[in-house]
Each structure stands twice: as C-alpha cells, then as structure tokens.
Structure 1
C-alpha cells in the first residue's frame, strides 16, 4: 500500500507546507523529470534543459516552479512557446491555453548559468563546487539550485538525468546508469531513477574518482548475535546466517589517495546490507552508490540510492562506521518512505539512528540497550523544549530529534515486545514502499501490531517535551 498526501492547498505558488510554505507549488503533481545537463567544471558553467511532465489537480491558467538564479532562454508548454516570469525563487509559466483539471502536460525549460547553493537557515544547500568537481546536497531545499522543480517532499516523481562533462571526471547521479558514451574530450552519462523520488533526494556528483565495486557478502561467523537472538535469520550449526536476499549491486566512487582506507572503512558494506534487509525487508532500489569526495564535508549527504561522504569520514579505522550504517538505513526510512511534510522528520532520523544502535549490537559493539541508556542520560540534561512529533522548522535537524527519535523506538520495543516490534518495522517499510508517511500512520500501525491503544505511550514520547523515563533503566 502506498499512502499519498492530500493535494496541496489551491494556489499555484505554494505547497501549503506548515514549515516551508515558500517551497513547493500547488495545482499539479509531477510525474517525471527529464534533465539534460552540460557542465564545465573549471568555470562552473551549466547549460541545461528540463522537461517536466505533470498532471493538473485543478484547472491552471499558470504553473509555478521553484528555481534558482539562471538565465532562461525559452519555455515551452506541450511543445508550444509560453510566457514566463522569473520572480525571486519562483518561475511562473503561462501557457498559451489554460490546462484543464486532470490533464497531463509538459513544461520544457532551457537555461544556462553558474549553479550555486541556495541559502537557508541550515546553511547553503544544493549544487556546490568542490576543489576539482561538484556535488549536490539538496536536503531540504537545495534542488532548485540546479533544476526547476516542485520542491516539496510529497511530490515524488521518476527521473532521467543526462550529464555531459570532461572525460577525466567520473559522474554519479542518483539512478541506474543506462548509457555512457565518449566523444572527443567529453563523456555523456545517462541515468534513470524509475522509483518515485523527492526532489531533495536527487543528486549529481562529479570528480576524479576511481570506480570501486562493492560485492562483499556473507555474515559474521562469531557475532550476528542480534539476529540470532531475535530469530530473524536462518541459523546454521556454524553460527553463520544464510542470505535469503539477492545481492544488491553496490559500487563506489573514491579518490585514488583514499582507496586503501576506504576498503577498510567500508569493508562491511555487504554485511550491513544483508542485516538491514533482514530487519526491514528487501532493499527498495536497484542499486546503492557511495561517493567519497576529495574535500571534507561537515556531514554525510543522503540521496536516493546513494550516500556521499567527505574525505574526513575515511580514516582506515572505521571511526565513522555508524554514519555508513545511518545513511544506508535512510534508503528505507527517508527515501523509500518519504515524509508527507517536514513535521514528520523523526520518521527519517529516529529510524536511521535506531538502526545504528541495532548494527552496533549485531557487529559486536555496544548493545542497543546500552546506547539507549547513554543517550537518554545525555538528553535528560538538555532543555526540555522540543516536541519530536512537531519540532518546528528551526529544530528539524536538532540532535534531539535524531536521538530521542531512536529512544522512542527503543521504548516502543520494550512496550510491545520484540516479536511485535520487529514485525512492525518490516511491515511499515514494506507496506509504504515508495510512498509517503506520517506520524499518525505510524502510530496506527504500531497499535495494530500491539493489539491495543498506544495513545498514552506516544503522547509521552512524541508530544511531550519532557523526556520520559527509559523502560528498564
């Protein structure tokens, strides 16, 4: 079952989002983006076209998109020239004839310029230059920095992205590589992202990288304690667990100088993939790509079927392995299951955080219970001024949303027991695969698995700023 958010409030220029009303647009649902990008690295110059296929949810005399500071050469609607106006962060398009409700239409935009990040209260996000290359980090409002779009997480669409750039550079885009052709000094890379994808989860990575195949599989012969204890795997006398999932194609783009350290730090990638599939169900995409930039990054970057790490996250000692697991967990929670609006962000970050704790226990580190106790103690001394179910726009990425979100899941596990809890996680991921989710829907799913009301529990953990006692502590 795929849940859908209600149509945005009428009005072409707003999505009606309670946190970010200036991003997103009403009146239509996007079906497909076809992006053709020609990028010159040294001058940071992008010449591009975007063909947007959408369905009108109301009669439209004009259509609006979120879009950055590019020079627009022409705009077509259904193949015919259209009037347009660029005002601030919006591109307003007026077709020759109004678009009736229910009609499928295309808008084609040709543009050129120097892409740069979008300023936000969380810093600059979007298309950014590296020392020698480029990256895209769009969460939550950076997608308009490189293509015209309906920039709201609820408006998920399929993509085809073509990138042409100088041949010495490797290109990775969130999607399956379907074509790669070299002509003279340039190479054209074509990717398809068929699964419904939010705009902020689309990414382009360009750099002088080595291609690395990540094919490691298998299991821990002497650990794997969590899955064996929960009876989620198929045990064998040797203590290994047999895989019941097909190998997910995994590859990486890595600076040559970091190859040896990368092999160590990401050496358990295949095991992580199998572990999470056993907990949450089959991996939701056709591939998983890791990019390590040659520059440092403050935090890893989440994208659909992809995760991007900075050079500072690779040291050959697995110092940042929890982040490796966190970003992989987002492929289920955040990417396949996307929040209907930003109020529900704990459903992304709390789940990925708790997946970190489960992996720590599974791989021989601290148990999930020990990590929950440690984080409960740390959060308890912080101000009690955040409601996890609705943290407010200024605290969307507050550490407490992440960690208290994880604590909420650990407390729920104690409340309903392991069998019901882990069955809930898997069914939640599988039933809402590639759909939209809300806190209310998760509460209803938890109550169905518990067989009773959990209203008082979730009021304490999600709607009350004061931190409740941790069960079992």
Structure 2
C-alpha cells in the first residue's frame, strides 16, 4: 500500500514513562554450588508409594563455601558419602546439609541413599485403566519430594536413570534409553532400565514414567534440523486401550519439530517422546519426554495445539531456561507465541489472527495483567505465575516485538538468543540484548513498559478533516490508569473513492498526541481503521 509522510505534534504532557534502573543481578539459589550431573537409581514398588533410591551428584564448587545444601522433603536419609567416604550430615524436613572440605574451586562426588513414602513430585496412583503407575510431575520445585537435588531452574545438570520396576511396566525417562535387563532372581519379575540425558536440564524437567504403555513409533523426523544426530526420532506412548487413537494429534509432530527448527534453530536433543500421563497440568514440557494429561486422550479431544506448545518448550524453557522464576514468560510466553505461529503455518493467516485476537482479549480482560507486571519479582507463590501475564501477555509481547523489528531482525535475534543461551540460563535482558544486536534498535524502553509494569495502553482516538488544508488530523489520548506508552500504531485510511491507504504513526509516551497526515487528501476519508492487523496490545475507542 502507498505510505504517507507523517508530521507528529506532541501536546504538553503531564507525565511520561520513567526510565527504569537496571535490574540487580539475582542472588544465586545455592551460592558457590553447581551440580554437573545426577546419577539417579530408583527401586519402584509393586504397590504403594514407598521408593528406595540412591542419588550420586557430581558437584563443582565455583566459590568458597563450606556446606552443600540439598533439597529433599520428608524422605528418610540413610547415609551420605563424600568422594566415596561416609560423612556426617545435617537433616531437617526439607534439606540435607553436607559439610565440605576446605577449598573453593574443586569437584566432589556426593552419594545419598534415601527412601520412604513419596507424597509429591512422583505421582503414584492406581488407575482402573492403567493399574499401578508412577509419573514425575516436578514443576515448579516439587522434584525435591523424591530427588536429593539443587531444585532451582538456575542449576542445570546432565542426568542418568537406573530404574528397577515390575516387568509389566515400561520405563520412559529423559534422553536415550541405554538398555534394559531382567533383575536376576526377582519374583514377581522385575526389570532394570537405564536412560541417559547428555544435555544439562533443571531438576523440574528430570522425569520418569512407569506404566504399561502401548508404544507408537512416529519415526525419524526433522532430519538435518537437530543438533544431536541426524534426525529426531519421535514416539507416542498411551494406555493400551487407546492404541487406535494414534497417531491422532501426533500426526503433526514431525512437521511441528521441522517448522520450529527452521524458525528458531535446530532441535536441541536427539529424540522426543509424547506420553499420556498423570499430571496436574494440561501438558508438561519435560526435556525429550513430554507428559500430557490423560483426560484429553480418553475423551479423544486432544489437538495439535497443545503438542505444538509443549514441543516449543524444548527450545525455550528446556534448552534455554529462565534463571529466575519471575522471568517465566521466557518459557511460557515463547511457547504460547510459537504455538500461534504453528497455527499460522498449519491453518493459515485467518486462523492465526483469530488466535492472536483470542490472546489479546484474554490479556485485556485479565485482573492479574491490570495489577501485576509480567516480570513479577514480588509474587512468592510460584503456581500463581501460571497466569495471563506469563502466557498470553508474554506471547503478545513477542508478537509486538516482531511487528516493531520486522521478521528478519526478530527471528535473527531469536536465533542469536537460542545459540548463545542453549543448555544454559537467561534473563529477560539477555533476550533484549540479542534482539538489539540483531536489529540495531535500542529496546530498553520496550522491555520496561511491557514487562516491568502492569497494564496496557487505553486509547481514545478521534480525527478531523481540514478541508482548507486537505489534511487529516488525528488525536490520540492515553488514559491515566496505566500511564502512557510508546508504540507504533498502524492506521488504514479508507478514502471516498474506495481506496485504502496504510500509514504508521509513532506514538510517544505522552498523555496526548496529535498527528497530521501528509500528503493532502482531496476529500474527507470515509473511515480510519486503527491497528487493522491486531498488532498492538491496547484498548482503542474511536470517537
């Protein structure tokens, strides 16, 4: 469409967006401690919820500290070994405190033997369809109920699993299966299964599933678009009576991984499993082993949208993990927006715009959005962070970033962010810096106003036509409830002869802005349409 030259006149303002101080560096969860690897051995029962376990942690000290504090809730601790020698330890209901030898930059091995009835984290239940099953459900910090660990997203480690369980159960865990073998002399029969994850992940993503699965091989997918091996082998696992449901929504699994791999970077792992499970969430993005709630399987209502959302997390949330929980939008906002982009890819632009409009309506009507910022450092209830800020507003912020920077710079920035922080941690300002480097555009103002304060712009627009000057004069007023915002606003002008002319107005963070559109129009426009593509998170009332 033809573009118009714009003259912007800003009226006297009563206030503006204040520049924000740089966020202080977060305090480490366990200062001076970095767990490099977990070697986890578990004995699962034939019935009941009592487990026996041994966890061997390889721990690097990064600074001087004389105590290793591990999270472990309620379970008994039988012994602790430090570099294969018995050592004393302190125990309370939530932690194990292990004295360390003098030093500041060494690596030690800690072995914890423990056990008892599990009350959370590993969900054990008897189901009329499955029988006895066990599914890990660790988010956000419930891994500590069954794994001695540094249970925080900032501490990522590799993990291996050795699981002894009744032979009727299949064991699925992170990474690649190394093998399985019968346990000699066991009656009833038991099998030992071993898995290994070579890429570092946080504890909340370290999982096992034990159930009598039916396995459906989805085949080799996304060949040439993975960082490990040549292709991504995908599987789906369900209860046997649902075998005829497959592939169901997973018929799109190959295309989803290929699409995201081409969009933001190669898939970070060598395989991906999709499991029907027991989880309190609709889906849980465990690295290489996504767990989905069982009811959508049983009702046969599950769609590829949730598959796309959870698969997107393999890049953002799993490979690139937020350093601190207040930055959860770096996980959930990304998955929400990539899910919408999958809709565009698979169902077209109309479906994508409908999904984005649904997202916008959820944000504009949300009480939590009106009261709290996306980066919410005050919220202590981590479950409360699963809200419209982290998901829908976070996703729409990415949509606005894309509109602001353009596709090329936006996706180039995402590539940079993924490449730099893959297998590590990031904060919101890390994303900002990569997008700035990719685009050459300062974005501090954007991140401050959209992520560090509640709300959204509330706009009232009006326009007049000056017949003598043959000009359209546009007035934009921002309500005071959430303060003033800076943003680009697309305007479509419908002329009297039926033409549509598109222009873009750079609105400043002032209560009132007046814009004169140039060149002249011979007659008054019939209509001005604001934000016709739905790219701005705002309410707009035209008078």
Question: Which one of the candidate residues 282, 301, 319 is aligned to 1:336?
Answer: 319
Match of 2:334 in 1: 351
Conserved in 1, the CA contact under 8 Å of 2:216 and 2:246?
no
Match of 1:214 in 2: 218
In 2: Cα distance, 1:41 partner to 1:292 partner: 21
Match of 2:386 in 1: 397
Instruction: Trace 1:27-46 onto structure 2 (pairs within 5 A).
Output: 27-46=32-51
Give the SS at the match of 1:31.
strand
Deviation for aligned residue 1:364: 1.2
Give the SS at the match of 1:303.
coil
Question: Which one of the candidate residues 368, 376, 381 is aligned to 2:352?
Answer: 368
> Could you tell me the TM-score, scaled by structure 2's length?
0.73
Deviation for aligned residue 1:34: 0.9
Match of 1:306 in 2: 289
Question: Which one of the candidate residues 77, 81, 86 is aligned to 1:72?
Answer: 77
Give the SS at the match of 1:215.
strand
In 1: Cα distance, 2:281 partner to 2:111 partner: 35
Match of 1:387 in 2: 373
Question: Which one of the candidate residues 66, 84, 109 is aligned to 1:61?
Answer: 66
Give the SS at the match of 2:251.
coil
Give the SS at the match of 2:247.
helix
Deviation for aligned residue 1:8: 8.0
In 1: Cα distance, 2:321 partner to 2:334 partner: 12
Question: Which one of the candidate residues 18, 31, 43 is aligned to 1:26?
Answer: 31
Deviation for aligned residue 1:353: 0.1
In 1: Cα distance, 2:270 partner to 2:399 partner: 30
Q: Which moved more, 1:205-214 or 1:352-361?
A: 205-214
Q: Does 1:247 align with 2:231?
A: yes
Match of 1:418 in 2: 407
Conserved in 2, the CA contact under 8 Å of 1:39 and 1:164?
yes
Match of 1:148 in 2: 148
> Could you tell me the TM-score, scaled by structure 1's length?
0.84
Give the SS at the match of 1:249.
strand
Instruction: Trace 1:128-277 onto structure 2 (pairs within 5 A).
Output: 128-131=123-126, 132-183=132-183, 184=186, 185-215=189-219, 246-277=230-261
Question: Which one of the candidate residues 284, 291, 302 is aligned to 2:275?
Answer: 291
Give the SS at the match of 1:76.
strand
In 1: Cα distance, 2:242 partner to 2:115 partner: 34
Give the SS at the match of 1:333.
coil
Conserved in 2, the CA contact under 8 Å of 1:353 and 1:403?
yes
C-alpha change, 1:272 and 1:315, in structure 2 (3 Å) is farther
Give deviations 1:112-166, integer Å, cap 9, x for gaps.
Answer: 211121xxxxxxxx11113221111111111111111111111111111100101
**Which structure: larger Rg?**
2
Deviation for aligned residue 1:244: 6.0
Conserved in 2, the CA contact under 8 Å of 1:280 and 1:425?
yes
Give deviations 1:407-462, integer Å, cap 9, x for gaps.
Answer: 00111111011111122222221222111111011111111222121222222221
Alignment gaps of 5+ in structure 1: 1-5, 10-14, 17-24, 118-125, 219-241
C-alpha change, 1:8 and 1:429, in structure 2 (3 Å) is closer
C-alpha change, 1:75 and 1:296, in structure 2 (3 Å) is closer
Give the SS at the match of 1:266.
helix
C-alpha change, 1:369 and 1:415, in structure 2 (3 Å) is farther
Deviation for aligned residue 1:39: 0.9
In 1: Cα distance, 2:102 partner to 2:161 partner: 26
Q: Hey, which of these two has a bigger chunk of strand by percent?
A: 2
Question: Which one of the candidate residues 112, 115, 123 is aligned to 1:109?
Answer: 112
Q: Which moved more, 1:158-167 or 1:375-384?
A: 375-384
Deviation for aligned residue 1:27: 3.0
Give deviations 1:60-85, integer Å, cap 9, x for gaps.
Answer: 43321100222222111111111112
Q: Which moved more, 1:381-390 or 1:368-377?
A: 368-377
Match of 1:239 in 2: none
Conserved in 2, the CA contact under 8 Å of 1:358 and 1:367?
no
Alignment gaps of 5+ in structure 2: 1-23, 127-131, 459-486, 490-530, 535-543
Match of 2:54 in 1: 49
Give the SS at the match of 1:393.
coil
In 2: Cα distance, 1:403 partner to 1:85 partner: 44
In 2: Cα distance, 1:315 partner to 1:88 partner: 38
In 1: Cα distance, 2:302 partner to 2:180 partner: 35
C-alpha change, 1:63 and 1:257, in structure 2 (3 Å) is same
C-alpha change, 1:406 and 1:335, in structure 2 (3 Å) is same
